Amino acid sequence: MNRQQKKQDEKVSRNTRSTKLKLLKAATKEFADKGLNGARVDGIASRAGVNKQLLYYYFGDKEKLFVAVLEAAYVKLRKKEKELHLEDMNPWQAIETLVGFTFDYIAHNRQFVALLNDENIHHAQHIKRSKTIKGLHSKLLELLSEVLKRGAKEGLFRKNVDPIEFYISLASLCYFFFSNNHTLSAIFARNLTGAAQKEARRKHIFEFITAYLKI
Amino acid sequence: MNRQQKKQDEKVSRNTRSTKLKLLKAATKEFADKGLNGARVDGIASRAGVNKQLLYYYFGDKEKLFVAVLEAAYVKLRKKEKELHLEDMNPWQAIETLVGFTFDYIAHNRQFVALLNDENIHHAQHIKRSKTIKGLHSKLLELLSEVLKRGAKEGLFRKNVDPIEFYISLASLCYFFFSNNHTLSAIFARNLTGAAQKEARRKHIFEFITAYLKI
DNA sequence: TTTATTTCTAACTGTTTAGTTGATAAAATA
DNA sequence: TATTTTATCAACTAAACAGTTAGAAATAAA
């Protein structure tokens, strides 16, 4: 049995790609769960079911693994963004798609939210150092900019909307509900974790953004 | 020289209140800076300029000190909220005051934002356990609820606005810009830390919220 | 003034933790 | 088949760290 066949069988005990992937997935969970400082190297290794030393063999150290986790998370996001094709839609369609995508992506990728939260505590020092992440410049802002202009020209949208301010507002409205869900639930003494609350939030955000854009 | 005189002189080397306060201030900085897991007990003690053991003497352990820090932060916030007196204002005035207060409070209390971020990573477990914080129920939501109803009745505001959704949106718009400032700056390759950017953000939030509320 | 209590200090301890070493087994190459 | 390279493991290490101890000094109470 040669190597190629073994790969297909996925029964290999020795395989760089699968070991790295197992570590990356385990690390994503551990870092999202406990933050960079709270995460344990032994915890990551045992979650991945591999020897701890392989973490050092493949990633160097804990912090470099954290950077690799962030990079993988951004690669995933940018890939999804590319599939939106806002440029082919009419302005209202494009905004609706963008808002829905942003909300749903955050809702389904809570680990990403947790990682970003932690990265902000560390003043984004890892993202700032990562050429990979900087290289993945999102085209979303350019696309949004074009959509806002088109909408304004067609008399559908408010004029002179700053795309960065608008995008930050959109991200805020979607992100905060999830990132701060636990403290919000505690302070309001109300359960905000349910599906109904999530759907209500989604609807409210659409209303909020629509009200701002429409003339 | 008796104890009372010494207190007035503020030259006492032995004083429960001042030692606890020094520790609390130092811990607030350290926790905001490095998170619960990143913070060092020795770091807090040396920042405070007191012996490490006093931290255990007065607060029990690191985690109880963290709870005390959160409690002090909430006490401070609730105190400021009380001074708003939204009930005496007309609906638009009240909303303007609330938005301005929320933005400015967050802008001037970045440590609070950092602490909340970290507490969310820990699933709000400390806030949930704290009777002090739960006891400090904010009247803001009741006041906001009343303002929204009054505004709707007077034909100024959109009808049937859910006060919790609205409050979460307001908090989102103010909070996210500061909590995620570092990653936003890195991703957009733009400096969002300056005073001009902050002022632009403040203005945008007013426009956004006004657009939603007005009929 | 003596005794008890409170506040504070320096040195210590046991554990946890990131990271290392050195050897071994599997796979690829010659 | 022999040799080199790659992947994996168990055991170890040094440092960092939260928390403790035992007692001293200041203050208050008796």
In a domain, A192, yes or no: yes
pLDDT of residue A215: 87
Does any strand C atom come closer than 7 Å to the Cβ of A12?
Answer: yes
Give Dmax (Cα) for chain A. 68
Does any strand C atom come closer than 7 Å to the Cβ of A152?
Answer: no
Give the confidence band of A13 by pLDDT, cuts at 50, 70, 90: low
Last residue of a domain, which of A37, A60, A83? A60
pLDDT of residue B6: 36
Q: Which nucleotide is nearest to A54 (CA to C1')?
A: D8
Same structural domain, A23 and A106: no
In a domain, A21, yes or no: yes
Does any strand C atom come closer than 7 Å to the Cβ of A11?
Answer: no
In a domain, A167, yes or no: yes
Interface contact A138-B187, CB threshold 8 A: yes
Does any strand C atom come closer than 7 Å to the Cβ of A62?
Answer: yes
In a domain, A65, yes or no: no
Same structural domain, B5 and B91: no
Same structural domain, A98 and A198: yes
Does any strand C atom come closer than 7 Å to the Cβ of A8?
Answer: no
pLDDT digits (tens, 9 = 90+) for A164-209: 999 999 999 999 999 999 999 999 988 999 999 999 999 999 999 9
- List CB contacts of B6: < 8 A, sequence separation 6 or more: B12, B15
Same structural domain, A105 and A183: yes
Comparing A128 with A10, the larger pLDDT belongs to A128
Residue of A nearest to B202 (CA): A165
- Residue A77 structural domain: 70-213
Total domains in chain B come to 2
Last residue of a domain, which of B42, B60, B78? B60
Protein-to-nucleotide distance from the CA of A60 to the C1' of C17, whole angstroms: 16
Interface contact A182-B123, CB threshold 8 A: yes
pLDDT of residue B14: 67
Residues of chain B with pLDDT under 50: 1-12
Q: What percent of chain A has pLDDT over 90?
A: 87
Q: Look up the CATH number of the domain holding residue A76.
A: 1.10.357.10
**Which of A134, A180, A213 is best to mutate for the B interface (most B CBs within 10 A)?**
A180
Interface contact A201-B168, CB threshold 8 A: yes
Last residue of a domain, which of A60, A83, A101? A60
Same structural domain, A88 and A113: yes
Same structural domain, A27 and A74: no
Mean pLDDT score of chain A: 92
Same structural domain, B53 and B86: no
In Å, how far are A33, A103, A186, A198 from A112, measured between CA atoms? 11, 13, 22, 18
Same structural domain, B104 and B74: yes
Chain B residues close to A198, C-beta within 8 Å: none
Same structural domain, B104 and B10: no
pLDDT of residue B16: 73
Q: Look up the CATH number of the domain holding residue B56.
A: 1.10.10.60
Comparing A95 with A136, the larger pLDDT belongs to A95
Same structural domain, B39 and B125: no
pLDDT of residue A14: 65
In a domain, A45, yes or no: yes
Instruction: Look at residues A108, A136, A2, A96 and name the one whose alpha carbon lies nearest to residue B188.
Output: A136
Interface contact A188-B141, CB threshold 8 A: yes
| Rounded Cα distance, A183 and B120, in Å | 6
Q: Are B147 and A152 in contact (CB under 8 A)?
A: no
Protein-to-nucleotide distance from the CA of A76 to the C1' of C27, whole angstroms: 32
Same structural domain, A77 and A23: no
Same structural domain, B102 and B197: yes
Chain A residues close to B211, C-beta within 8 Å: 158, 211-212
